[in-house]
């Protein structure tokens, strides 16, 4: 018995976001290892990174809305909450693998709370927010506003998750709850509006299936591709450039 039909537009946008992330990480590695004079910390590429993370997290929220609506047809109460706790916990554990790998490889600037940690936590917390439906857009904007405020406040490492950290803190990927979970919440609101009850009410323009198939494939396997893309980039750089990246 096959599962619920997937929406190709969601997979397409998720795939585009991941391709944008792979491009940025490739440029980051070129700059980090001084292979090419690329400035990813300012200007266009800095805002490109913000746009990439924003799109990725918005799609996380939309997907959560659809997933919840469909799961609620067969699960209730504790079982429904447990589904998202287990899924989020698995993603968060993948984030911990990234922490260990970057600590071993980079030492300084390793990932303590990056985008996978945030997504995992957001999925685990999502049962608290599904009830607010489209009002999650307002809550998300509040999260973003709080994040802007907290970014101006230095504090101990213990508050790193919410967006407060020492002035000396640095990381190659830092995605705190404030403001970034705000994007997930806005995505929840978009999903509630565009896919009420987990169903699309609007007509999708016909997409060129052969052209989008590679991107939608990536969009269906984002977690695995995310986990392996950085080692693959480093291996390619080593083979092509002979740079001491391994």
C-alpha–C-alpha distance, residues 245 and 63, integer Å: 36
Render pLDDT for 14-33 as a digit per residue (tens, 0 to 9): 999 999 999 999 999 898 88
Render pLDDT for 161-176 as a digit per residue (tens, 0 to 9): 999 999 999 999 999 9
C-alpha–C-alpha distance, residues 185 and 215, integer Å: 25
Render pLDDT for 23-67 as a digit per residue (tens, 0 to 9): 999 999 898 888 889 999 889 999 999 999 999 999 999 999 999
**CB burial of residue 107 (10 Å; 0-12, 13-18, 19+):** exposed
Partners of 165 in beta bridges: 154
Residue 237 has pLDDT above 70, yes or no: yes
Lookup: tokens for 192: 């509630």
- Residue position matching structure tokens 């998202």: 84
Lookup: tokens for 187: 């995505």
| Stretch 172-184: mean pLDDT | 97
| Stretch 231-239: mean pLDDT | 87
Contact 219, 13 (CB under 8 A): yes
Render pLDDT for 115-167 as a digit per residue (tens, 0 to 9): 999 999 999 999 999 999 999 999 999 999 999 999 999 999 999 999 999 99
C-alpha–C-alpha distance, residues 238 and 246, integer Å: 7
Decide: helix, strand or coil at residue 88.
helix
Decide: helix, strand or coil at residue 156.
coil
pLDDT category of residue 79 using cuts at 50, 70 and 90: very high
C-alpha–C-alpha distance, residues 55 and 15, integer Å: 10
**pTM recorded for the entire structure:** 0.94
């Amino acid at each position: 018995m096959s599962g619920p039909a997937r929406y190709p537009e969601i997979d397409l946008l998720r795939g585009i976001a991941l391709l944008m992330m792979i491009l940025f990480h490739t440029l980051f590695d070129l700059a980090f290892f001084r292979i090419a004079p690329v400035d990813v910390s300012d200007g266009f590429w800095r805002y490109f990174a913000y746009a990439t993370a924003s799109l990725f997290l918005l799609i996380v929220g939309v997907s959560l809305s659809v997933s919840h609506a469909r799961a609620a047809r067969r699960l209730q109460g504790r079982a429904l909450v447990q589904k998202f706790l287990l899924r989020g916990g698995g993603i968060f554990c993948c984030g911990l693998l990234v922490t260990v790998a970057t600590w071993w490889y980079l030492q300084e600037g390793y990932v303590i709370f990056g985008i996978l940690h945030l997504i995992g936590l957001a999925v685990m917390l999502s049962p608290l927010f599904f009830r607010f439906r489209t009002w999650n857009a307002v809550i998300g904007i509040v999260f973003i506003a709080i994040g802007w405020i907290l970014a101006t406040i230095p504090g101990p490492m213990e508050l790193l998750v919410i967006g407060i950290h020492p002035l000396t803190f640095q990381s190659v990927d830092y995605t705190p709850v404030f403001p970034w979970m705000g994007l997930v919440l806005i995505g929840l609101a978009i999903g509630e509006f565009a896919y009420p009850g987990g169903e699309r009410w609007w007509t999708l323009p016909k997409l060129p299936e052969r052209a989008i198939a590679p991107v939608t494939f990536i969009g269906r396997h984002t977690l695995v591709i995310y986990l392996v893309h950085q080692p693959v980039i480093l291996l390619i750089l080593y083979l092509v450039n002979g740079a001491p990246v391994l």
